[in-house]
Amino acid sequence: MESHERMIPLLSSNAETIIKTRYLKKDHTGQATESPADMFRRVAVAIAQVEKKFYVETDIPTLANRFYSLMANLEFLPNSPTLMNAGRELGQLSACFVLPVGDSMDEIFDAVKNTALIHKSGGGTGFSFSNLRPHNDVVQSTAGISSGPISFMRVFDIATETVKQGGTRRGANMGLLRVDHPDILDFIKCKADQTQLNNFNISVGLTDTFMIALEQNESYPLINPRNKEITGTLKAREVFDLIVKQAWENGDPGIIFIDRINRFNPTPHIGSIESTNPCGEQPLLPYESCNLGSINLGLMVKDGQVDWQRLKEVVHPAVHFLDNVIELNRYPLPQIAAMTKGNRKIGLGVMGWADMLIALKIPYNSEQALELGEKVMAFINNEGHKASSFLANERGAFPNFKGSLFAQRQMPAIRNATVTTIAPTGTISIIANTSSGIEPLYAVSFVRTVLDDQAMIEVHPLFERIAKERGFYSAGLMERIAEHGTIQGIQEIPADLRSLFVTAHDITPEDHIRMQAAFQKNTDNAVSKTVNLPKTATIEEVRKVYELAYKMDCKGVTIYRDGSRDRQVLSTTKKPETDTSQDNFVRVRPTILNGRTFKEQTGCGTIYITINDDQNGPFELFTTMGKAGGCAASQSEAIGRMVSLAWRSGVQPVQVIKQLLDISCHSPSGFGENKILSCADAVAKAIKSHMSSNGHTVPETVVTKPLIKGACRICGGRITYEMRCPLCRSCGHSECP
């Protein structure tokens, strides 16, 4: 091909930014040494080279061009590790892994080590901690007692935080505990404190026994995994109520119907499925990995109809591509290579579903959309299985085929134990400039912050085109929409468009679940779908979502109530019982206060930080910026005023430290333990020193900033959550694989 660039569609500015930041090869100075077209070519050639393993004579350049065309035209994109690493030295191409966690120190810390290796290579990990004996259980080798699964989860969390995957992809984990584990109540509440286990999503594995007990309002048994003995019982309704309440609080835990998942386990003779990948859509056996890819449904529309022929033409080479990835992949552990190649699971999914519906003029929350979703996924699943069977005829069935469900049912040989998965597609959907997975639109219009901190209004391209065609487009209207993200209630927008361009918060929770169920009917693995709820949603509404997911045969469900992870837990002194007014809580300043002044060197100059105490502890904070003036001095003064107000209003010093510590600016100062990242960081360190001088210890949990915030740590844009995975649609930054 003479010019690769000519095949590249016009990438959005977001796509260009995220590709340059995360995907392209760079030299030792950090400068990109390839273009997006070069990246797609690098990946296509590397994946096509696999053909040499199966055929003596094959037209590899033609196949490479075919793979290249799929990606360059944004019709199909593989998961991020494949785009990043195919054709490069690292060569780790899988997005997700599941590792076993055995009930011994050796097995636990082997799993910690293996987790670090996987995160270093760019993957996410899922674990079941259900095999660990409960806390206070006997440890015969030491005559001691066990600390239980949650204490070991913290070890995995710290290891993940330490690795941070070189800054390219942050480590992400799924922690699962069966509902019949004796420590289940503590597990359900383990993320109530949002400073804890921030590198984990957690899910409860709900069993058939539990669900029957729930429906009949009965108790169910708790089973010690060490000896399989019943240790007690719990009321199923009370446990379910606690799960619902905690999910309402901050989105964790999700739920996974673990027995239902195992009924669809294609290789039960190899082992039971214990956990999933970090976002929950890929159930995997211990030591198994999966590589994912997604078809852009927004491009599968022609003349107002679904282009079934083009969709078929994309499905077949996409399955071929993903099967080749299994061969090319450099697995981080030999056990993972063996298990993955034994089952050869792939996960072909979709993105751009909301865009397809808009192009077809079908409202997302309509019966027609549900019927089409089921039909589209049935088509992809059927064609995907045909493509996998074709590969099996040429290359052989997956090695563990004998004894599998396929063999038991006397079905034709197939190359891949699973073929389809609906993944979140957070980052690759930004590259493709399309809606994520099967989610509704994130927003019709939103504010994007570019690198020079200039705010720009971005509008959904189809809405912008229609608005101009119908004559109601204006910059002012787009700004109004961007304030809320939705067009509902704006009367100058025609009613048919208000029903067509619905966003995640415009539809009911039932609409979310029904769409998930429609796609799950024809998906081998599971479906990534977040049920977005408004901040005003009740606990009862969350309960109905979870119950409906079970009734509609979903394999799991995740909810996110808007703003529930933006709120920080504040420790305040107790007010008198008769006091119902926050105003009565503010501390009054005495005439004389004693304190200390700290000197710190920042990148903007020397800062002097004075902290004064009253009888209750730190009361006020002042800052002075040496000879520096302007913005640095004014912002430091503002920090001092806000900290003083917080303290007088009852906020504890440790909470102020947690908010300010490790905030970084363009001009840090110092090295190692003495490094000051910003003026805010200097203030936090001074408060910490002041507390230490007064004999107070700052808890270690405060030292590490929580990952989950209400705003993007890169551009400050609004964070949305897909399967509990923080994603910024403004700049494309993601905190998960």
329 is catalytic: no
Is there a contact between 351 and 428 (Cβ–Cβ < 8 Å)?
Answer: yes
Is there a contact between 170 and 164 (Cβ–Cβ < 8 Å)?
Answer: yes
Contacts of 49 (CB under 8 A, 6+ apart): 60, 64, 328
- C-alpha–C-alpha distance, residues 665 and 2, integer Å: 44
Q: Which of 75, 249, 274, 281 is catalytic?
A: 281
**Nearest Cα residue to 273 out of 165, 83, 168, 418:** 418
Identity (one letter) of the amino acid at 45? V
5 is catalytic: no
712 is catalytic: no
**Nearest Cα residue to 42 out of 101, 93, 12, 87:** 87
User: CA of 713: how far to CAs of 268, 455, 486, 542, 726, in Å?
Assistant: 43, 16, 24, 29, 11
Is there a contact between 551 and 522 (Cβ–Cβ < 8 Å)?
Answer: no
Q: Which of 173, 250, 265, 277 is catalytic?
A: 277
Q: Which residues pair with 127 in a beta bridge?
A: 99, 175
Q: Which of 96, 279, 290, 554 is catalytic?
A: 279
Can you give the three-state secondary structure of 692-719, one letter per residue? HHCCCCCCHHHHCCCCCCCECCCCCCEE
Contacts of 174 (CB under 8 A, 6+ apart): 124, 125, 126, 127, 200, 201, 202, 203, 275, 276, 277, 278, 279, 280
**Nearest Cα residue to 525 out of 178, 91, 126, 60:** 126
- Check whether the bond before 278 is cis (ω within 30° of 0): no
User: CA of 300: how far to CAs of 297, 304, 320, 483, in Å?
Assistant: 5, 10, 19, 31
**Nearest Cα residue to 3 out of 38, 31, 44, 47:** 38
DSSP state of 351: E
Structure token pair of residue 144: 């001691």
The residues that are catalytic are 277, 279, 281
